[in-house]
Structure 1
Amino acid sequence: MDGRPVLVCTEYEDATADLVITELNRRRVPVLRFDPGRDFPASVSLAARIGDGRAGRTGWSGYLTTGERTADLAAVRALYHRRPSPYLSGNGEQSARFAAQEARRGLGGVLGALPGCLYLSHPQAIARAEYKPAQLVAAIRAGLTVPATLITNDTREAEQFCAERPAIYKPLHAGPYQVEGEPAGIWAAPVGVEEIDGAVSRSAHLFQARVPKEADVRAVVVGEQAFSARITAPPGVVDWRAEYQNLIYEPVACPRETGGALKRFLATFGLNFGAFDFAVTADGTWWFLECNPNGQWAWLEDATALPITHAIADLLENGTTPHD
């Protein structure tokens, strides 16, 4: 593969990644796309070397090949870590589990330690930033406004919290969930003190003060740029994701102080991308709810014409953040 390639690690069907790859192809930036968890070792070959004592060899060299395309590991300009599959462990036998762990730490370890490579974003940074308790602390330290929040498995604490204020419950992680065999989402929802029971003691639960919002905002930060859209849902809707078909979108300027706080938040975790959700009250306050360090944005670009694809392609093509 001629030139400095961009590696795109994602699952087979990813329309969001397709937008970025199409734009990089238009710019004639070489791209190698693969799904590490599914493609290695069946259709991906890796040979990474380090420590041969030669002057100037301070990082991994060698190659990664998939199909007829080969990338020079020492020349990778950027890695776009979108949504790759977990490393497969076969039928669950010990040898298969061992092989999957070796693949994750071998291939995954090399991909996470490429010399001179920009990460959008680094897999380990994404993993750290997925913990909501860490997000809330980082948001406050960055200067964002955060609703009162309780994480507990103590029924009495939950009852007291919900008795003192209008409250919502929301999951700590939006993982796959099914109801009667069908995919389902667990949305943020109002919760009253009368709904609290002993089931709270079975795991950690996140309760949060219900913000009297008049709208929501999704702010997508790419490097140094922030793209924000105001999202108006039908009256009474707590979680707009449950009402996609009834939403109104419009681009909105991100307040300067908030924009600075978003960049400080991302810097805390070493991220180059974040999809932030805010509740906006009548006085104009943006209340931080959460950040998805690898969140979706293509539908928002389609609805608002915000140039997010171009911003991501710019960053990947550059191979460096503006402050590097």
Structure 2
Amino acid sequence: MTSTDAGPVAVVTNLQDPTADLVIAELHDRGVPVVRFDAGDFPATLSLTARIGGGAQEWEGRVRTPSRLVGLGSIRSLYYRRPSAFAFPHLDPQDARVAAAQARYGLGGVLVSLPGCLYVNHPNKIADAEYKPAGLAAAAACGFQVPPTLVTNEPAEACEFAVAHGRVIHKPISLPTYLIDGVAQTVPVTEARVEEIGDSVAGTMHLFQQRIDKTADVRVTVIGRQVFAVRIDCGLLDWRVDYTTHTYTVVPVPKRVERSLFAYLGHFGPLFGAFDFALTGPESTEDSWVWIECNPSGQWAWMEPPTGLPMTASLADLLQRGAA
């Protein structure tokens, strides 16, 4: 069966997603059919009908977009990136919450149950892996070095942790969209001094971590069974705040670290993961790699031009192959 004979790759993401654009262009160049939609467009320009039972053991039906009608059973792969949230601005707040719940568990429930579909990544597995405390526990169990970490809403505990570990950082446990003048902002990691830790800590959960005395950062992107590691030299606490300072170098991953990468992904189940490490010494030394986090929907495309790593092609290979 050729790429054009097989069913389409479905790409679920928002309209402003240049990373998805690159993968879609690669698939188009290969003659692989693609259907793209944003779950947040439901119900304005997106609809779904699905049936099961009465002899049918899998969901049968279709997704309708303004330009495409796609059978659920024909979708070979689903590339789940960063769809918009459901919104019902024409309803009052209470009715909008009810409608959003129906959309999430109805539309979403069908999309996570597609027959014979390869997910990159499965939405439920993304949700599991996005819990930072769960990720930290899995990382430690999988053999990564994990910095001393505290999750608390008790100011006294936070102060005690800061005193015990000297320099500590504070980082968001979750990253909802934070807008300033309508533009999404990066919420940076910051250093937390003991004198700055006040009663406001009691208002919600906070994550504190010992600051690592690092020489560089490494972003490791795992796509299927392929591993792409890039050293980032910038001198910043949080390299995301200023990309103009970066120098990129492709580096090998020590065998023990690589085993832990796949053990971690095996724990949560995704086929894609963007791992961040702090290096405390030479990248060839396993003990120099300190695990920071893994983002199951992380960015990677900006590293491809300066490094030449074929990450777009690798992801297209995975999606084109599908579950077969």
Task: Tell me the TM-score normalised to structure 2 length.
Answer: 0.92
- 5 Å-filtered alignment, 1:274-293, equals 274-282=273-281, 284=285, 285-293=288-296
- 5 Å-filtered alignment, 1:61-72, equals 61-72=60-71
- Segments of 5+ residues of structure 2 without an aligned counterpart are none
- What SS does the corresponding residue of 1:115 show, helix, strand or coil? coil
- What SS does the corresponding residue of 2:58 show, helix, strand or coil? coil
- Segments of 5+ residues of structure 1 without an aligned counterpart are none
Task: Please state how far the C-alpha of 1:181 moved relative to its aligned partner.
Answer: 7.3
Whole-Å Cα distance in 1 between the matches of residues 232 and 58 of structure 2? 45
Q: In the alignment, is residue 256 of structure 1 matched against residue 268 of structure 2?
A: no
Q: Which residue identity does 1:275 align to in structure 2? A: A
- Between the aligned residues of both structures, percent identity stands at 48
Conserved 8 A contact 1:90-1:97: no
- 5 Å-filtered alignment, 1:90-239, equals 90-93=89-92, 94-165=94-165, 166-178=167-179, 183-234=184-235, 237-239=236-238
Task: Please state how far the C-alpha of 1:12 moved relative to its aligned partner.
Answer: 1.0
- The aligned residue for residue 307 of structure 2 is 304
- The aligned residue for residue 272 of structure 2 is 273
Task: Please state how far the C-alpha of 1:77 moved relative to its aligned partner.
Answer: 0.7
Whole-Å Cα distance in 1 between the matches of residues 152 and 110 of structure 2? 38
Q: In the alignment, is residue 50 of structure 1 matched against residue 52 of structure 2?
A: yes
- What SS does the corresponding residue of 1:201 show, helix, strand or coil? helix
Task: Tell me the TM-score normalised to structure 1 length.
Answer: 0.92
- The aligned residue for residue 79 of structure 2 is 80
- The aligned residue for residue 317 of structure 1 is 320
- The aligned residue for residue 35 of structure 1 is 38
- What SS does the corresponding residue of 1:58 show, helix, strand or coil? strand
Q: Which residue identity does 2:22 align to in structure 1? A: L
- What SS does the corresponding residue of 2:241 show, helix, strand or coil? helix
- What SS does the corresponding residue of 1:268 show, helix, strand or coil? helix
Whole-Å Cα distance in 2 between the matches of residues 139 and 192 of structure 1? 26
Whole-Å Cα distance in 2 between the matches of residues 180 and 272 of structure 1? 36
- The aligned residue for residue 16 of structure 1 is 19
Task: Please state how far the C-alpha of 1:2 moved relative to its aligned partner.
Answer: 5.7
Q: Give the count of matched residue pairs.
A: 315
- What SS does the corresponding residue of 2:48 show, helix, strand or coil? strand
Q: Which residue identity does 2:99 align to in structure 1? A: A
Conserved 8 A contact 2:220-2:227: yes
Q: Give 4+ residue runs of structure 1 displaced > 4 Å after superposition.
A: 178-183
Task: Please state how far the C-alpha of 1:176 moved relative to its aligned partner.
Answer: 2.5
Whole-Å Cα distance in 2 between the matches of residues 183 and 104 of structure 1? 23
Q: Which residue identity does 1:171 align to in structure 2? A: P
Whole-Å Cα distance in 2 between the matches of residues 182 and 75 of structure 1? 37
- What SS does the corresponding residue of 2:215 show, helix, strand or coil? strand
- What SS does the corresponding residue of 1:60 show, helix, strand or coil? strand
